[in-house]
Structure 1
């Protein structure tokens, strides 16, 4: 009977040991899962790394290469591979911007790149806004070109065509060709058309007074630079030197019709 009781106790202990060993892997696995939130499954859904360095690949590297290329630091193909060329470009950028030169794209380097990219976009937008000034320059050039083509046209009182024109008729005809409507008489042009400016630029109209017995502006010409103008005088359409005493004595001012 004593042996049977001893045998029974061994069986119970053995059974408990086996059960414990069988459950240990499951418990260990659960404890391990709770204690390691940075396991491979968790990291796969985490946010992209904030630091890029040599050996990295992917869309984040492409973005950095693109920004560096926009700023002129990276000249190779944008391939998403953070190799020696990309690293050199990063170091050049960091040196230029007064950052720590380590070839690593951390938060500070990323921020500096983003700031430069935003500034480049703003500059492009401003350039687009200022684009009409190119059209204005073209229009001024057209005004001078049309005026030059009329040199030699005879003076005709009241004329407004290439067959013959007076001083205001010459101005009226030239600006009609570029889509600008003006009053017929110089006195009305001076009072009502365009914008008065301090000094003439190429394509502006210079006005004179007292050239004959009339009130206000009585003569005009198109300024072509170097104190020269094209006007329709008694000898027809010609180039005149505004620096001579006659024109200086009768000078009234200048207006822009652009």
Structure 2
């Protein structure tokens, strides 16, 4: 390496530049502001604000707010962790596709506005809502015809807790199914994958009181299920934000992950 001929002079000039940067109004503010931009240039790696375009790598209360609105409309079924990762991006893309928005996985102003307005829109039954895959063919029975459904309905509003199996501690999704059927004298395997592989009988289309199964929700293979109550709806333990709730199965998120139904009578 070639050494500078005037090291003392170089040191003095460098020190002067650093001092000038530190005391120049606006310049130091620009430098510090850029420290909040993540590697993709789309948002803050520390915490995104409500006005930020939210994308991969963002985190904080603004992201958690979007996750909560997605969860309330059954596009997001995971913990509200405030981290904008691939799962949140996929949920945003599903929502955008369903609502005629540009599908880019970015929660910008139009997507946020659509999320807020969709959350307050009343549900309107349409003819197409009763024509979905194989879920609708045996949905004519009233929900009260099933003891399983009656038990599930009595639990709507209970909290979601990872590993939970009772109303007092809350339910996770498979714990909820176990509890409903246990209360009616039927013991099931603890996990969705085990229930799908070993318990009950598979049916071509679900009847009231059957269990509908889904895959690839938070892990590969069968990973979620709910009690079918007719009219293309199920009761399930959703997320920490929703708890035990009634969900419409016509939503793309569930249609795309549906793998079948089983009867546990």
TM range (shorter): 0.3 to 0.5
Greater helix share, 1 or 2? 1
The one of the two structures with greater contact order (alpha-carbon pairs below 8 A, sep at least 6) is: 2
TM-score (norm 1): 0.45
